[in-house]
Amino acid sequence: MSIVAVIDYGMGNLRSVAKALEHIADPDTTVEVTASPERILQADRVVFPGQGAARDCMAELTHRGLVDVVKEAVRSKPFLGICMGLQVLLESSEENGGTAGLGILPGSVRRFPDGMVDPRSGDALKIPHMGWNQVHQTKPHPLWQGISQDSRFYFVHSYYVAPTESDQIAGVTHYGTDFVCAMARGNVFAVQFHPEKSAEAGLALLANFLCWDGCV
């Protein structure tokens, strides 16, 4: 029996992530949405999803006693971050006038600049970046297995990650500017897009995660 813990810190679309995982999981895999430190640390794999503001996310993690739990899960087992679950892994964010992150991955989180323009149409680009966009895989990874280069995934965000170590970049997307949409280091893989909302490509990524042993 394999257990996948989806971290519940009171924010985000946890149920849709859990349902997507349940949809592609084999009968021997249990998906559990939980805020229990013990259950998270007992799980074989951990998913850290989320939406909303970085400051609120960090406040809830602190309030629920989950900061050290997340850091331990990152050290010890296959770990998938989704959307806010990517951004707060970095050291800091420009959001809310400046917010400290968990400092697990080196780099910062920046807001898309105002005044971005679509180079083809000349139309102003809206913030947040919302909808389907292509993901260009920048290095091989087990979670990309079977997913075609430049497949489309679903995004909803106004901020993007700016890592300081280029070897941790696993995917990029273009929206006014090229931005990093996936990072990978050791047993950690984290994405800005929402695989649970990304049809076949997203389900393929989640299925790859459920089979991944954390090695690259």
Is 67 among the domain residues? yes
216 found inside a domain:
no
Distance CA 109, CA 47 (A): 20
Question: Does some domain include residue 194?
Answer: yes
- Domain interval for residue 76: 2-211
Kindly state the tokens that stand for 71.
Answer: 């850091």
For the chain, the residue count is 216
**Cα dihedral 91→83→178→139 (10° resolution):** 90
Instruction: Note down pLDDT in tens along the chain; length 216 residues.
Output: 899 999 999 887 789 999 999 999 999 999 999 999 999 999 999 999 988 899 999 999 999 999 999 999 999 999 999 999 999 999 999 998 999 999 999 999 999 999 999 887 888 999 999 999 999 999 999 999 999 999 999 999 999 999 999 999 999 999 999 999 999 999 999 999 999 999 999 999 999 999 999 998
Q: The tokens of 43 are what?
A: 């799980």
Query: How many domains does the chain divide into?
Result: 1
pTM of the full structure: 0.97
In a domain, 191, yes or no: yes
Q: Between vectors from CA 92 to CA 90 and to CA 98, what angle results, nearest 5°? A: 155
Instruction: Assign residue 76 the CATH number of its domain.
Output: 3.40.50.880
Structure tokens at 84: 């806010």
Q: Which residues are catalytic?
A: 83, 194, 196
Q: What is the DSSP letter of 123?
A: P
Number of Cβ within 10 Å of residue 159's Cβ equals 22
